[in-house]
Structure 1
Amino acid sequence: MFFKKLQGALSGAASEAETAPLHLAHDFVVIGDLHGRADLLEGLLRQLETEAPGLPLVFVGDYIDRGPDSAAVLRLLQDLPGATCLMGNHERMCLSFLDQPNRNGARWLRYGGADTLASYGVAVQQDDRLRARDQLIDIMGEDSIHWMRALPLFARNGMLYVTHAGADPRQDIETQDESSLIWEHPEFVRQPRRDGAWLIHGHTIVTQPLVQQQRIAIDTGAYATGRLTAAVFAGDDLRFVQTP
């Protein structure tokens, strides 16, 4: 029963009494929001070679925007063998821009899309989004765009689900719509789940990893803080590995 050792393994994370044990099918690692920090991703992967060698990696989404090198992050992720990468709301905003740049461009650019374009060497003017979209498609390439479109909304390991944001606690995670899983359902933090499932997620920045009411939050604001967090589930232990 994983939960018996959970409270003693948090290494500084905030926690409170939980109601359901956490059963996993296998050891693995979950990595928080990257937001264009290829340097932190490379550093964390080196740390995990020592801290969690050979364990499968799951990334919670938001690989692009805000940080300086979204293009490099996407290249690194696509070259990682066996990694599972989930859809984040920033990937969805980017895809919406590619589909309808005039309609959806302003929102994406406001929330970090301009940084992603810059990482590909694309400049954008407010009245010339079609040109920027076409340049981005040419530079990213169809393979990368197809990879992004195919990102799943969740991953499951035993009774632990990985999503980008918080799900509706009243519904089965696997049947929920995309909006709840990548933007966070408004009821997520208002009531605990009653189905025995746990959820580990990013999206909402916390100063340190937070374990609370069968929720584990690991977005520590890497693009701004320099602190990228991985949750390592190994045996009956949970520990958090962070970039210095």
Structure 2
Amino acid sequence: MSTYVVGDIHGEFNQLLELLNTMDFSSKDWLYVMGDVVDKGEYPIKSLQLLMGLPNCTCLMGNHELMMLKNREMINNLGNLSKKFIENNCLNILDWLNNGAESTLCELSELSLDERNKILDYVEKFKPYVELSVNGVDYLLVHGGLGNFSVEKPIADYSLEELVWDRPDYSKEYFSNKILVTGHTPTQRIKENTLPGYIFMGNNHIALDCGAFSPKGKLAGICLETMEEFYSR
């Protein structure tokens, strides 16, 4: 059995298929997805549906899933939105649209109400964080970071917004006894990364968002047993 962790997918369904194939992912393995499956890319819902079919997969909540869920009522009333509803919810709607929601909404609009709710129910169960140990090494997986960080602060005391929206300081070691694994921040933007666009490892951090949606980006994954890196292209 191998434990794989994959960065932000952002609707890049074909890259997801390619990466799973490259990793030789099987029913004997376990997959952790770092959040932000939806938005931006062409097939966010198709990507979610693929993950829904994997019983050996755990998804973390990303800020894009959080925006999606805040607009659940709007999603379930596509084509039948009142002016009053739009006025009362315009900030949530605009926030999501400004962050690449168009492709997600287009795919959702092609589904029945029952199919939409199955997908939204699945996303509701995404984890705010995951703690695990592999080969004696402890890992803490969160999509974004640890907002208002304190080494004494229990992980359960962080708000969801602090976990999915905030970004870590990759120049700083947060924990001496565990590795913080994140997505959210493209590795192209990490100053400490000597290989922009590839997985960053340093200061007890692993950063996995390699900008799959961007023209020169890629979907990235890592095997925690071997620390082997995998890329879609």
Q: TM-score, normalised by structure 2?
A: 0.78
Structure 2 residue 90 is the aligned partner of structure 1 residue 102: yes
Q: Cα distance 1:98–1:209, how it changes in 2: closer, same or farther (>3 A)?
A: same
Q: 2:218: which partner in 1?
A: 227
Say whether the 8 Å CA contact 1:167–1:181 is kept in structure 2: yes
Residue 118 of structure 1 and its aligned partner are, at CA, apart by 1.8
Q: 1:176: which partner in 2?
A: 158
Q: 1:167: which partner in 2?
A: 146
C-alpha RMSD of the superposition = 2.3
Q: Cα distance 1:179–1:195, how it changes in 2: closer, same or farther (>3 A)?
A: farther
> What does residue range 130-141 of structure 1 map to in structure 2 within 5 Å?
138=113, 140-141=115-116
Residues 129-188 of structure 1 show CA distances to partners (whole Å, capped at 9, x for unaligned) of xxxxxxx77274222111111211111112201110111441333331111110125x64
**Letter matched to residue 198 of structure 2:** Q
Q: 1:48: which partner in 2?
A: 23
Given candidates 100, 108, 118, the residue that maps to 1:112 is 100
Q: 2:180: which partner in 1?
A: 199
Secondary structure at 1:120's aligned position in 2? helix
> What does residue range 73-92 of structure 1 map to in structure 2 within 5 Å?
73-92=47-66
Say whether the 8 Å CA contact 2:7–2:208 is kept in structure 1: yes
Secondary structure at 2:184's aligned position in 1? coil
Secondary structure at 1:222's aligned position in 2? coil
Residue 45 of structure 1 and its aligned partner are, at CA, apart by 1.1
The 2-side partners of 1:103 and 1:109 are apart by 10
The 2-side partners of 1:190 and 1:42 are apart by 33
Residues 41-78 of structure 1 show CA distances to partners (whole Å, capped at 9, x for unaligned) of 1111111217x883211000000100001110110010
- Any unmatched runs of 5+ in structure 1? 1-25, 123-135
Secondary structure at 1:111's aligned position in 2? coil
Say whether the 8 Å CA contact 2:8–2:35 is kept in structure 1: yes
The 1-side partners of 2:37 and 2:9 are apart by 5
Given candidates 218, 222, 226, the residue that maps to 2:208 is 218
- Any unmatched runs of 5+ in structure 2? 75-88, 188-196
Say whether the 8 Å CA contact 1:166–1:180 is kept in structure 2: yes
Q: 1:33: which partner in 2?
A: 8
Structure 2 residue 228 is the aligned partner of structure 1 residue 239: yes
Say whether the 8 Å CA contact 2:174–2:180 is kept in structure 1: no
The 1-side partners of 2:177 and 2:7 are apart by 23
Higher relative contact order (CA 8 A, sep 6+): 1
Say whether the 8 Å CA contact 1:40–1:226 is kept in structure 2: no
Say whether the 8 Å CA contact 1:43–1:243 is kept in structure 2: yes
**Letter matched to residue 213 of structure 2:** Y
Q: TM-score, normalised by structure 1?
A: 0.75
- Corresponding residue pairs, total: 202
Secondary structure at 1:34's aligned position in 2? coil
Q: 1:144: which partner in 2?
A: 119
Residues 107-147 of structure 1 show CA distances to partners (whole Å, capped at 9, x for unaligned) of 1001111121123346xxxxxxxxxxxxx772742221111
**Letter matched to residue 198 of structure 1:** I
